Amino acid sequence: MRIFDLRSDTVTHPTEEMRIAMANAEVGDDVFEEDPTINKLEAMAAERFGKEAAVYVASGTMANLASGLAHCQRGDEAIIGAESHIFQNEAGSLSALGGVHIRTVPNDNLGMMDPDEIEAAIRPDNIHQPRTALISLENTQNRCSGAVLDSVYTEQVASIAHSHDIALHIDGARIFNAAVALSVSVSDLVRTADTVSFCLSKGLSCPVGSLVCGTRDTINLVRRNRKLLGGGMRQAGIIAAAGIVALETMVDRLSEDHESARILAKGLASIPSLVINPEMIQTNIVIFDVKTGPIPELLSALKIKGVLASYTGGRGVRMVTHYGITPEDIEEILNIVEAVA
Ligand code: TLP
């Protein structure tokens, strides 16, 4: 039986070209910054994002944490979206390991925090209160159906942050999806950010890895934090080689995933027991509500027929399109969902 794994784009396997590049990668000791493949990947990332430097880390979670630790001291406060991955899905790492106080601001269904609410959440200079040191955005916004933040909004938030001497981080785990959806370059989307992280292991289909880009001084701090967190790697050019192939060959094709997601969302909208507005689907994440019945049972019934999806809380189910799912697969997936839902 064919399995359609829509739980995440993290389930993607490396391409044949990646496997060849990995087998043949030149390597060295990356803690000494002597791995030529990692050095090349970091230089490519910095250039692509229009930043001075970049550092390769193990995961998106480590990228956000090592960046957060570069911007915040213990007891500082970070303003973060209530639906953000950092707040919802990173095991409270910034608080647990960095002693950082988290202040959430609601995300609307387009993924945005209201700039006035962000500004109102910034602390005055007062010894009784934590010092606001960081504002973090997420692009695309995972839990808001992969909503895209454009550069106008990002620059608006950046100018609020910088006018208060606060750093702006972008969790850009899927920022290439945002750039492709908006037909802009990633550097346009992050011009005013102090750090941006992005993942190779999601829609770009690498087996592992993320990067953080920023100024040379900040990236030196992030590199130090990577070591602090036990994430210094040695001959990791073996895995970084896939990242080079990803940046060269896997970015433009993300539009196919967006097209599949749109077809999927339209089809789901026509199933009476499901609720979704297909107009809201901008990238590769499709989240819909199920009107009645227990969701775990629905997910099990789908799994028996070969469709894997995930639960997002409340009445929500998430399906993510990716390299392993073709637009033709979507028709079959919809037939299965219709039969089960
Ligand atoms: N997201 C995963 C799960 O953890 C939910 C997924 O399947 O979507 N930022 C964002 C916006 C993310 O979506 C994720 C992963 C991360 C950071 C963390 O990346 P990893 O899993 O590499 O630590």
The whole-angstrom distance between residue 210's C-alpha and the CA centroid of its chain comes to 10
pLDDT grade for 27, boundaries at 50, 70 and 90:
very high
Mean pLDDT of 279-306: 97
d(CA 106, CA 115) in angstroms, rounded, equals 11
Residue nearest to atom 1 of ligand 1 (CA): 85
Q: Tell me how many degrees the CA angle 242-243-246 measures, rounded to the nearest 5.
A: 90
CA–centroid distance, 250 to ligand 1, in Å, is 19
- List residues near ligand 1 (CB under 6 A): 8, 10, 59-61, 85, 89, 138, 142, 171, 173, 199, 201, 210
- In CATH terms, the fold of domain 13-249 is Aspartate Aminotransferase; domain 2 (3.40.640)
- The amino acid at residue 166 is I
User: Residue 9: which of 245, 198, 240 has the closest Cα?
Assistant: 198
Residue 91: Cβ within 10 Å count: 10
* Residue range(s) in the chain whose domain bears CATH number 3.40.640.10: 13-249
pTM: 0.98
Residues β-bridged to residue 175: none
- In CATH terms, the fold of domain 253-340 is Aspartate Aminotransferase, domain 1 (3.90.1150)
Cα separation values, 96 from 65, 87, 90, 228, Å: 10, 12, 10, 14
d(CA 35, CA 168) in angstroms, rounded, equals 30
DSSP, collapsed to helix, strand or coil, labels residue 307 as strand
Percent of the chain with pLDDT over 70: 100
pLDDT of residue 327: 87
pLDDT grade for 91, boundaries at 50, 70 and 90:
very high
User: How many residues would you count in the chain?
Assistant: 341
d(CA 298, CA 308) in angstroms, rounded, equals 11
CA–centroid distance, 9 to ligand 1, in Å, is 10
Q: Which atom in ligand 1 lies closest to the alpha carbon of residue 9?
A: 7
pLDDT of residue 267: 98
Mean pLDDT of 85-108: 98
257-278 per-position pLDDT tens digit: 999 999 999 999 999 999 999 9
CA–centroid distance, 89 to ligand 1, in Å, is 7
User: Residue 257: which of 335, 174, 144 has the closest Cα?
Assistant: 174
pLDDT of residue 168: 99
CA–centroid distance, 142 to ligand 1, in Å, is 8
Sheet strands side by side (includes 53-57) = 53-57, 210-214, 195-199, 167-172, 132-138, 77-81, 101-105
pLDDT of residue 136: 98
CA–centroid distance, 205 to ligand 1, in Å, is 13
139-195 per-position pLDDT tens digit: 999 999 999 999 999 999 999 999 999 999 999 999 999 999 999 999 999 999 999
Rg (CA), the chain: 20
* Residue range(s) in the chain whose domain bears CATH number 3.90.1150.10: 253-340
pLDDT of residue 123: 98
Q: Which atom in ligand 1 lies closest to the alpha carbon of residue 199?
A: 22
Choice from 85, 198, 284 to test ligand 1 binding pocket (greatest atom count within 8 A of CB): 85
Residue nearest to atom 5 of ligand 1 (CA): 89
Mean pLDDT of 308-336: 96
CA–centroid distance, 60 to ligand 1, in Å, is 6
Choice from 142, 143, 206 to test ligand 1 binding pocket (greatest atom count within 8 A of CB): 142
Q: Tell me how many degrees the CA angle 283-285-287 measures, rounded to the nearest 5.
A: 130
29-47 per-position pLDDT tens digit: 999 999 999 999 999 999 9
pLDDT at 109 over 90: yes
pLDDT of residue 39: 98
pLDDT of residue 104: 98
Residue nearest to atom 13 of ligand 1 (CA): 142
